[in-house]
Structure 1
Amino acid sequence: MTGKARRTVAAALTLAATVPMLSACLEEPSAHEAVRDFLVGWQTGDYVAAARRTDGDERTVSKALEDAKIQLDAASFRFRVKAVRRAGDETEADFDAEVDLGENNPLWQYTGKLPLHLVDGRWKVHWSPSVLHPDLHEGQRFAVDVIPEGRKPILDRNGDPLQQEATLYVANVVPATLKDPVAVCEQLSKITGFPQDRLLSRIRSARPNVQVPLVTFGRAKYAQISDKLAAIPGIVVSPQKQPVAPDSPAQIVGTVTAVTPETEQQLGGPQRAGDTVGRTGLQKAYQEHLTGSTETRVITVDLKTNQQVAELRKWRPSRSTSPVRTTLDGPAQKAADTALFGTTPGMLVAVQASTGEIRAVGSTKEYNQEKDALAGKFPAGTTFSIMTVEGLLKAGISTKQRLACPVERSVGGARFRQADPPGGTAPSLLGDFASGCVTALTALARRIDGTELTASATRFGIESPWTLPLKSFSGSIGPLRTDAATAKAIAGQNVLVSPLSMALVAGAAASGTWRPPTLVTDPKSPDPAAEAEPPKPPSPIKIDDKAVATLRTLMRSGVVAGSARSATAPGAPVHGLTAAATQNRKPLAWFVGWQGDIAVAVLMESADSTAGAAVAGRFFQKLNAGT
């Protein structure tokens, strides 16, 4: 027995136990028995037993009770007797009805009346359609109108949609024109996999003279089965334009598909044709905000004309669908896509330094914008030296200090190698930062406290417990208990970061304050049913003023005289550093920096350590040009 059936029987037993208490109100106990037997039979689906307690034709009444359930597509009926009044040979019972209109529809509650009179010495319900509802009359039937709201868009910060219209194909029928609805649903079920009984109940509960959508298909699926659909009599396919094709950044925005039998189960019950489901990205995260809200009406229909007679009840959407407003910026996104076009595999994340708002997420086809650009775990390389500045200053180290950049260096047993070290006299620490010389920078490990270095990384957001609606990674750093471990951290070998986390590091250096990332500004939570306020993001962290000033000098030098020279662009000065790293034998090239209030992190799969800087330069150029 299903859970629904158990609930129905339990409710019936409650009714049976409660109604006898009304017998004291009646002079003839059999009148109460007639009320009880009729309502219990109706509620439990024993329509013959219910019909026997009426003065109507048994087959006619049984069919009317069964049809009411079908026409309402009702999961269950539940009743409670309110009062029974006696006036001579006539009696009238008032009852409350509660009709469950299905898993995705509301409960319909109304008050009905049962007129009773004596027939051959027995109390009987005087039958008419108004027994089912006071406003249902001869020659009429119930019907349910369900009107879904269209899917809302995902918008960028300027209010422009981040998706384009795509064509979906909806298989419809007009119930009154179908000669054999059962056969139609059987054939459609075989083709689509949707349960035959759900398709049939949708037809039977709808208004007979209106087009009823049954199943929606995407372009590819429709192309596969269009001939089979055309062979089903009564099926009419109509194309519909819906804003479901994602614009860039497509993997952040996410994909949308028509509801399938599989997604119908995932969404928790039967959906209406035309409904769409987000499969990835923000479309999935904000599915409940973007779609699923419906208006439902219970009406009566004239059986001859199939026209609506009366509206018995209307429910407006229980919750409003709403657009999702993001921090993404159309021009910045276009600049990111253009900068990466035709390059080696790579990614770019741009944030507004003064707010932490994500402006663009770009990637080549080899990388996923969510799983890699936001949530990827990559070695930081010497970009981690940005976070060593506070420790250097506390140790009294000057950026003008001479520090050699040899080909190889060993620190605490850990060996480091610098490809193509600069020749001539020993460069200054400023030059080592600008060129990302790993052998020079790791030499400072013995002069920097590992605990303080970890604390500095924390101030730049590494391992911060931020929350985004999509997967993301704030970084991680291993324990720094030895000189070797500290040196590896300076080299970024035991520090994992995402491009997003490094863009925020650049933003902290640019603005003087680290800020957690923001991607969506409205709604506040992906869950519209959430009662509690969403978790507050971590507070901004002020970076030491002296450290910020030093960082700006170091990172400007990286673009003016260091390995990040290709990041130069018109407009405000560009600041930045490059770094090389290796992961799974793949060479990686970082650029971390900013221009004006836009901070970026670029990670390219390249043995050329300047590859990230070149992409950053093209990004800033396109952004400044407004193209």
Structure 2
Amino acid sequence: MRARGIVVLLVVLVAALTGGVVASFAISGRRAARGPQQVAQEYFAAWRQGSFTKMARLADAPPADFADQHRALSQGLSVVSVELRPDPVVQSGADQAQASFQVSRDLAGHGTWSFRATLRLGRVDGRWKVLWSPDTLYPGLKRPATWRLTRVEVPAVAFVAADGRALPEGGLLDPYLTELGDRLVEEGDDDEADGHSGWAVEATEAGGKPQRVKLLAVKQSARLRTTIDRDVQAAAERAVQGRPQRTAIVALRPSTGAVLAVADQLGGQGAFVGGYPPGSTFKVVTAGALIADGMGAGSGADCPAGVVAAQRTIRNHEGSALGATTLRGAFAQSCNTTFARLAVDRLGGGKLGRAASAFGFGVRLKPGTGAATGDFPDPRSGAELAEASFGQGRVVASPLMMASVAAAVADGTWRAPRLLAAKDLRKVGAEPGPERDVPGAAALRAMMRAVVTEGTAAGAGLPAGTAGKTGTAEFSDNGDAHAWFIGFKGDLAFAVFAEAGGSGPKVAAPIAARFLRGL
């Protein structure tokens, strides 16, 4: 009996231990299988509690000053409470996910500052982690920042949408409206500029200049209409939310040059002031120059995988080739080799430069806020001309500039973009810009439609009636590239830009489709 009792006891012990091991494996399995939604929930919960240590554990390789960056914002702005309202996590592919969220901070005695941002997540060594960067704190931040509340003179006006309705606060347009207000006060020669003292949220990135990102508790007695369309703005902001890359959309009305939307996650108002290689979106300009020189969309052209133009070896993306084709076919499939050879053999720097000027390159843009000039430097060699023909080398442009290129094709006339009615531009120290007829607009419209129906954007899900041009613009020796798509549909033109997004067809064009389908 004693021996039997011992056996029974051993069985019970083994069963208990086995069950414990199974339970242990189950718990371990659950931990290993934690998905992005659970990680995001834990991160937001820790953030609400102010537990920077736990937040850092949930992040992949957080910087040494992770907690300090959070404290700098709270202390600099006298934050007394933080409210976080996350959206459900959206997974993109097997290893990336993101959750848009609204954050509202009570700034002791200065009101509430609210805006939307994105929490990005990724699978690292088999586990989901938060891919933290400074723009998790505020969209567009690239480096640690110091924050402060600064007393400012603010205008006694509220900037409203084109239809007179209030613009939603806390969106990606806020920095642009803040600068409009600053410029209105600086001009100071109009009754609408007579304002009062107020407070502004100011951020200064390491090594950068202070940027006012929000005016607080401003009392307005009048309204000044912008050109912004509330519906287009909302669609643009939805389209860029939750992207793994910093993304911007600028939308214009081709018939007037009015800016309809600015959804800018680039930081520092990069959608207007940034300078980036436009890549193959610049082929719109080169094709216009070729049409002005006598070619037609159906003119014969060659598209080999590689070509030597002016002693510069040019290759197509991923080694693609069409062989004998037409200008339209080479444009739709974005053949670098075709455009490089034709630019060198037929156009030269002078003809291409004149086409660039017709499309607004070199024109000082004054939309009402700061804006960079599109730059097409005179090619110093045939090799530079070959690169410039497809938007590489020294050619640079902002998303605003490339949106104006798309608008020019849609309308036939390039118009300087603007954020206010032409009659109101002087109130912010700006003025209406020039208008210029662009070469080959009718043929370019058909060629840009071909990009969507049968070319590089055919699989992007763009709605019927859309025309456009993809661009993959390399910016490093490692092959890193920005993703572009510019286009138009009816009396709406736009540029989509994803910083370091890689592929225009795979990244920027689908964002454009999401934008257009969201209208």
Indicate whether the TM-score tops 0.5. Answer: yes
The residue aligned with 1:324 is 224
The residue aligned with 1:460 is 359
Which of 340, 347, 350 is the equivalent residue of 1:451?
A: 350
How many Å separate the matches in 2 of 1:280 and 1:255?
12
| Paired letter, 2:503 | D
Mapping of 1:57-136 within 5 angstroms? none
1:469: Cα distance to partner? 2.8
Which of 132, 146, 157 is the equivalent residue of 1:152?
A: 157
- Given the alignment of the two structures, is residue 386 of structure 1 paired with residue 288 of structure 2, yes or no? no
1:476: Cα distance to partner? 0.4
**What whole-Å deviation, never above 9, does each CA across 1:198-226 have from its counterpart, x for those lacking one?**
xxxxxxxxxxxxxxxxxxxxxxxxxxxxx
Q: Residue 150 and residue 520 in structure 1: after superposition, are their counterparts in 2 closer, same or farther (change >3 A)?
A: closer
Q: Residue 490 and residue 423 in structure 1: after superposition, are their counterparts in 2 closer, same or farther (change >3 A)?
A: closer
The residue aligned with 2:41 is none
- Given the alignment of the two structures, is residue 608 of structure 1 paired with residue 488 of structure 2, yes or no? no
How many Å separate the matches in 1 of 2:173 and 2:154?
26
Residues 383 and 577 of structure 1 are in contact (CA less than 8 Å); yes or no, is this contact kept in structure 2? yes
- Given the alignment of the two structures, is residue 395 of structure 1 paired with residue 289 of structure 2, yes or no? no
1:277: Cα distance to partner? 3.6
How many Å separate the matches in 2 of 1:619 and 1:417?
32
Q: Residue 496 and residue 579 in structure 1: after superposition, are their counterparts in 2 closer, same or farther (change >3 A)?
A: same
The residue aligned with 1:347 is 248
How many Å separate the matches in 1 of 2:456 and 2:315?
17
Which of 597, 600, 618 is the equivalent residue of 2:514?
A: 618
1:416: Cα distance to partner? 2.1
| Paired letter, 2:481 | P
**What whole-Å deviation, never above 9, does each CA across 1:343-390 have from its counterpart, x for those lacking one?**
2322111101111111111134xx12x531111100011211111234
- Given the alignment of the two structures, is residue 507 of structure 1 paired with residue 387 of structure 2, yes or no? no
How many Å separate the matches in 2 of 1:603 and 1:441?
22
Q: Residue 276 and residue 436 in structure 1: after superposition, are their counterparts in 2 closer, same or farther (change >3 A)?
A: same
Structure 2 SS opposite 1:589: strand
- Given the alignment of the two structures, is residue 574 of structure 1 paired with residue 466 of structure 2, yes or no? yes
1:342: Cα distance to partner? 2.3
- Given the alignment of the two structures, is residue 276 of structure 1 paired with residue 177 of structure 2, yes or no? no
How many Å separate the matches in 2 of 1:292 and 1:560?
50
Q: Residue 332 and residue 280 in structure 1: after superposition, are their counterparts in 2 closer, same or farther (change >3 A)?
A: farther
1:500: Cα distance to partner? 0.2
Q: Residue 150 and residue 249 in structure 1: after superposition, are their counterparts in 2 closer, same or farther (change >3 A)?
A: closer
- Given the alignment of the two structures, is residue 537 of structure 1 paired with residue 438 of structure 2, yes or no? no
1:441: Cα distance to partner? 1.4
Mapping of 1:396-415 within 5 angstroms? 396-415=294-313
Mapping of 1:136-147 within 5 angstroms? none
How many Å separate the matches in 2 of 1:149 and 1:454?
42
- C-alpha RMSD of matched pairs (Å): 3.3
| Paired letter, 1:396 | G
1:606: Cα distance to partner? 1.9
1:592: Cα distance to partner? 1.1
How many Å separate the matches in 1 of 2:173 and 2:437?
31
**What whole-Å deviation, never above 9, does each CA across 1:6-35 have from its counterpart, x for those lacking one?**
xxxxxxxxxxxxxxxxxxxxxxxxxxxxxx
Residues 402 and 426 of structure 1 are in contact (CA less than 8 Å); yes or no, is this contact kept in structure 2? yes
Residues 256 and 279 of structure 1 are in contact (CA less than 8 Å); yes or no, is this contact kept in structure 2? no
Greater Rg, structure 1 or structure 2? 1
TM-score (norm 1): 0.49
Q: Residue 580 and residue 285 in structure 1: after superposition, are their counterparts in 2 closer, same or farther (change >3 A)?
A: closer
Unmatched 5+ residue regions in structure 2?
A: 1-152, 182-195, 204-210
How many Å separate the matches in 1 of 2:401 and 2:259?
11
- Given the alignment of the two structures, is residue 596 of structure 1 paired with residue 490 of structure 2, yes or no? yes
Residues 425 and 432 of structure 2 are in contact (CA less than 8 Å); yes or no, is this contact kept in structure 1? no
Residues 174 and 214 of structure 2 are in contact (CA less than 8 Å); yes or no, is this contact kept in structure 1? no
How many Å separate the matches in 1 of 2:390 and 2:261?
28
Q: Residue 280 and residue 450 in structure 1: after superposition, are their counterparts in 2 closer, same or farther (change >3 A)?
A: farther
1:439: Cα distance to partner? 1.7
**What whole-Å deviation, never above 9, does each CA across 1:35-80 have from its counterpart, x for those lacking one?**
xxxxxxxxxxxxxxxxxxxxxxxxxxxxxxxxxxxxxxxxxxxxxx
Structure 1 segments, 4+ long, off by >6 Å, are 283-287, 290-293
Which of 570, 583, 587 is the equivalent residue of 2:475?
A: 583
The residue aligned with 1:548 is 441
TM-score (norm 2): 0.59
| Paired letter, 1:455 | R
How many Å separate the matches in 2 of 1:323 and 1:541?
32
How many Å separate the matches in 1 of 2:294 and 2:154?
64
How many Å separate the matches in 1 of 2:492 and 2:233?
12
Unmatched 5+ residue regions in structure 1?
A: 1-147, 165-245, 258-273, 294-320, 528-533
How many percent of aligned residue pairs carry the same amino acid?
29
- Given the alignment of the two structures, is residue 429 of structure 1 paired with residue 312 of structure 2, yes or no? no
Q: Residue 500 and residue 413 in structure 1: after superposition, are their counterparts in 2 closer, same or farther (change >3 A)?
A: same
